[in-house]
A and B are shown apart, each in its own frame.
Chain A
């Protein structure tokens, strides 16, 4: 019986990284088996949950005690990388669909690679102007040649986060393992493949899911809500501020920020939107409230998580 139980516990312990299993595996298994009843064949739910949670926390680097400042820096770094991936996704899509000229596409891809590299290496001061240049290039393409996408709110949010990192944590660079690099193409691929919803009611669901995921992530890692807060702000801005494209006469834009002669600013919202008989009233005020509340909740969750994790 013990052999079967030991085999099953070892299977659950695969949640831990290999190096941790090599160091702790036998000892942990010994303790687990000492608590087992003589005829027990299956791991207890409580132990399984504990192993899975601690295993994941060990893998994502959340198990170690770190200074609060470093947790915030790492959270902002992960947030910026995902924001950059979110900004790169439409560029890659447009390049693939040949909606961008070869020169413009190449320039944007090079800027994206340089910026992401700088952020991954913790070079905040270098990453900030690079992100600014990327953003400026997109605005230029939009205003001058109407090439596809408008301003990327993901990039704007990344600039703000990088400004904080460059201003307050200039010389502090988090150490990252090599597997972290995989997060960049993975996030970009995911966001490229994902058709982000355009209906306000669906967008509200996306924002709500983001907030809930961030709060739930606090249980594992206090960096999770920091990341979610950044994505929440960018996603809400993307929803609230819509730039009409040429020939688009049905824009649901609320505020148009780019003052070019081609764009007519509009301050009206075309809600209600109907969906399967249900009327959704999604107004800018509700969006702003949801954004403020969600972001505040996420940062509070981060703060509490960081404070708790800074204790032994």
Chain B
């Protein structure tokens, strides 16, 4: 089940995508988001934690593990089932939107109805 009416901003989408292969902590999430987005999304640490707050609040991610490293708390975040469904639904939506541009056959079949024929 996905969050009703939820639409992800690009940084949130890539954060969820970064967590698809398992729980990660802040530093690694930023690195992965940068790599997955081809450097188009480069998160500052302050921005990352604002995003993590929003995703946690929407129950799309949860704290999976908390440990002490160098005397400081470090938390790892994991996708919830709802988060996994949401990012996959968003990916399908984006793929469908991309397909009407990249796939001429799909475009033609969508426009084949009588009311859609060009005059």
| B is bound to A | yes
Which residues of chain A have C-beta atoms less than 8 A from B7's C-beta? Answer: 311-312
| Number of chain B residues close to chain A: CB under 8 A | 29
Q: Assuming A65-B58, A311-B8, A312-B3, is B27 touching A31 (CB within 8 A)?
A: yes
Q: Is A46 in contact with B60, judged by CB distance below 8 angstroms?
A: no
Q: Is B44 in contact with A47, judged by CB distance below 8 angstroms?
A: yes
Q: How far is the CB of B18 from chain A (nearest CB, A)?
A: 14
Interface size class of A (residues with CB under 8 A): 20 to 34
- For residue B113, CB closer than 8 A to chain A, the reply is no
Which residues of chain B have C-beta atoms less than 8 A from A34's C-beta? Answer: 27
Cα A58 to Cα B54 in complex, Å, equals 12
Which residues of chain A have C-beta atoms less than 8 A from B49's C-beta? Answer: 24, 27-28, 31, 54
Q: Is A312 in contact with B9, judged by CB distance below 8 angstroms?
A: yes
Which residues of chain B have C-beta atoms less than 8 A from A51's C-beta? Answer: 44-46
Which residues of chain B have C-beta atoms less than 8 A from A50's C-beta? Answer: 44-47
- For residue B41, CB closer than 8 A to chain A, the reply is no
Q: Is B50 in contact with A308, judged by CB distance below 8 angstroms?
A: no
Chain B, Cβ-Cβ closest to A9: B45
A interface SS class: helix
Q: Which of B27, B53, B55, B74 contacts A35 (CB 8 A)?
A: B27
Cα A51 to Cα B46 in complex, Å, equals 5
Q: Which of B12, B44, B50, B58 contacts A63 (CB 8 A)?
A: B50
Q: Assuming A31-B27, A46-B44, A57-B50, is B74 touching A308 (CB within 8 A)?
A: no
- For residue B33, CB closer than 8 A to chain A, the reply is no
Q: Closest 7 A-B residue pairs measured CB to CB?
A: A50-B44, A50-B46, A31-B26, A34-B27, A26-B72, A51-B46, A54-B46
- B residues lining the A interface (CB < 8 Å): 3, 6-9, 12, 25-27, 30, 44-50, 53-55, 57-58, 60, 69-70, 72-75
